[in-house]
Amino acid sequence: MEGDIATMGAYIGAGLASVGMGGAAVGVGNVVGNFLSGALRNPSAAAGQTATMFIGIAFAEALGIFSFLVALLLMFAV
Amino acid sequence: MATDVNGAAEQSGGLVFHPMDQFIIKPLFGDGAVGVFTVTNITLWMAITVLATVALLVLGSSGRATIPTRMQSIAELAYGFIRKMVEDVAGRDALPYFPYIMTIFMFVVMANFVGLLPGAFTSTSHIGVTAVLAMLVFISVTMIGFIKHGAGFLSLFWISAAPLPLRPILALIEVISYFVRPVSHSIRLAGNMMAGHAVMKVFAAFAPMIIISTGIGLVVTPLSILAIAAIYALEILVAFIQAYVFTILTCVYLKDALHPAH
């Protein structure tokens, strides 16, 4: 367990960056939750909107993926 | 045996093996440096992916039985699923590009599933692989946009529904988000695959704890084996969903190129 301060900073930064994934979790939960509450009100219209839900999930998830990328860059590239 | 595992555990900071070791690219023959044309384990598993895809689709559709076999059902389901997706998301005039989108989907979904075999190498967990797929989509979609609409393609960035003072700011944001597309497109797939497999390996490294210490190992080992099974089931779902998301985003980008006006 020895190393320099820069490595310590990189690892702490990687840990802090992964907090951003919580935001993606909130976003994805919001998308799916709202889709479900809409779908249960009008189940006949739900099937046509599944693709839209997945697009929404993908866009919400993208920003969480960026924080994951920052964490990975700090761990392996700096 | 116990001392062996103990020694290895001390070296790698607690775990028996490092969870990211599974993503190391090694030459298949000998152990020289990895060059551009070196045959590596990722080459082998991508070749297996392509062969499996061709076998599934060609063998599946060659029978043309009225009552389909299981293989024919899968091939027909995949074809119908992607064709409907292209038609629904990108519109009827995107159907000429359907073969390419089908190719992307079959390659990605097969690479994800082949990577789930124990001992296999997940080729889609490398950004190098997914970045090529995403850049091909990005470049071809941009070219289709400019060929079909000429300079009119730039109206994708000029949102005529917004108030006039806001439009330049929105145009700037739109341009940035347009160029970030291949980045998020590729990292989403690679990141999901890498994260899932790394989590499985973390639990796999906890599993032999019973050898190191029988006290805490009696609790940790069964729990981590259960966790591996649960995460494996989740990964099967994720493997399909990420291939689906990759394909549907390709369709969305294609729709933007075919109908740029907001």
List the single residue in A55, A66, A68 with the smallest CB-CB distance to B248. Answer: A55
Identify the band that residue B136 occupies on the pLDDT scale cut at 50, 70 and 90: very high
Taking only the tens place, the pLDDT of each residue in B66-105 is 888 888 999 999 999 999 999 988 989 999 999 999 999 9
Mean pLDDT along residues B174-189? 91
Q: CA-based Rg of chain A, rounded to a whole angstrom?
A: 18
Taking only the tens place, the pLDDT of each residue in B37-60 is 888 889 999 999 999 999 999 998
Enumerate the residues of chain B whose CB falls inside 8 A of the CB of residue A51.
85, 88-89, 248
Nearest chain A residue to B251 by CA: give it. Answer: A55
In this predicted structure, what is the pLDDT of residue B7? 43
CATH number at residue A44: 1.20.20.10
Q: Tell me the shortest Cα–Cα distance from A55 to chain B, in angstroms.
A: 7
B245 and A57 in contact by Cβ < 8 A?
yes
Alpha carbon B233 to chain centroid, angstroms: 17
For the residues of A27-64, what is the DSSP string, one character each?
Answer: HHHHHHHHHHHHHHH-HHHHGGGHHHHHHHHHHHHHHH
In this predicted structure, what is the pLDDT of residue B262? 60
Enumerate the residues of chain B whose CB falls inside 8 A of the CB of residue A57.
245
In this predicted structure, what is the pLDDT of residue B82? 94
Torsion angle, alpha carbons of B111, B116, B117, B120, to 10: 70
Contacts of B170 (CB under 8 A, 6+ apart): B159, B162
- Distance, in Å, from the CA atom of B134 to the CA atom of B191, rounded to the nearest integer, reads 14
Residues of A with CB under 8 A from a CB of B: 48, 51, 54-55, 57-58, 61-62, 65-66, 68-69, 72
In this predicted structure, what is the pLDDT of residue B1? 34
Does residue B249 register a pLDDT over 50?
yes
List the single residue in A51, A58, A66 with the smallest CB-CB distance to B89. Answer: A51
In this predicted structure, what is the pLDDT of residue B14? 59
In this predicted structure, what is the pLDDT of residue B8? 44
Question: What total number of domains does chain A contain?
Answer: 1
In this predicted structure, what is the pLDDT of residue B3? 39
Per the model's pLDDT, the better-predicted residue between A78 and B42 turns out to be: B42
In this predicted structure, what is the pLDDT of residue B243? 94
In this predicted structure, what is the pLDDT of residue B6? 44
Identify the band that residue B15 occupies on the pLDDT scale cut at 50, 70 and 90: low
Q: State which residues form the domain around A40.
A: 2-75
Does residue B21 register a pLDDT over 90?
no
In this predicted structure, what is the pLDDT of residue A77? 73
Mean pLDDT along residues B19-27? 84
Residues in chain B: 262
User: Is residue B25 less than 8 Å (CB to CB) from chain A?
Assistant: no
Identify the band that residue A1 occupies on the pLDDT scale cut at 50, 70 and 90: low
Enumerate the residues of chain B whose CB falls inside 8 A of the CB of residue A55.
89, 248-249, 252
Does residue B12 register a pLDDT over 60?
no
- Distance, in Å, from the CA atom of B186 to the CA atom of B128, rounded to the nearest integer, reads 9
- Distance, in Å, from the CA atom of A20 to the CA atom of A65, rounded to the nearest integer, reads 9
- Distance, in Å, from the CA atom of B134 to the CA atom of B187, rounded to the nearest integer, reads 9
Does residue B11 register a pLDDT over 60?
no
Mean pLDDT along residues B96-117? 94
- Distance, in Å, from the CA atom of B211 to the CA atom of B217, rounded to the nearest integer, reads 7
Mean pLDDT along residues A18-36? 92
Identify the band that residue B195 occupies on the pLDDT scale cut at 50, 70 and 90: confident
**Is the overall model pTM greater than 0.90, yes or no?**
no
Taking only the tens place, the pLDDT of each residue in A39-68 is 999 989 888 888 889 888 888 887 887 888
Enumerate the residues of chain A whose CB falls inside 8 A of the CB of residue B188.
58, 61-62, 65
> Token match 């999930």: residue?
A57
Query: Over chain B, what is the mean pLDDT?
Result: 87
Judge contact between B220 and B209, C-beta under 8 A: yes
Largest Cα span, chain B: 73
Neighbours of A26 (CB within 10 A): 12
DSSP H or E run through A13: helix A5-17
Q: CA-based Rg of chain B, rounded to a whole angstrom?
A: 23
Q: Which amino acid is at B236?
A: I
Mean pLDDT along residues B106-121? 93
Mean pLDDT along residues B17-33? 82
Please identify among residues 228-257 of chain B the ones whose CB lies closer than 8 Å to any CB of chain A: 241, 244-245, 248-249, 252
For the residues of chain B, what is the DSSP string, one character each?
Answer: -HHHHHHHHHHTTTSSS-TTGGG---BSSSS----TT--BHHHHHHHHHHHHHHIIIIIHHHS--SS--HHHHHHHHHHHHHHHHHHHHH-GGGGGGHHHHHHHHHHHHHHHHHHTSTT---GGGSHHHHHHHHHHHHHHHHHHHHHHHGGGGGGGTS-TTS-GGGHHHHHHHHHHHHHHHHHHHHHHHHHHHHHHHHHHHHHHHHTTHHHH-HHHHHHHHHHHHHHHHHHHHHHHHHHHHHHHHHHHHHHHHHHHHHS---
State ipTM.
0.73
Torsion angle, alpha carbons of A54, A56, A60, A61, to 10: 20
User: Is residue B114 less than 8 Å (CB to CB) from chain A?
Assistant: no
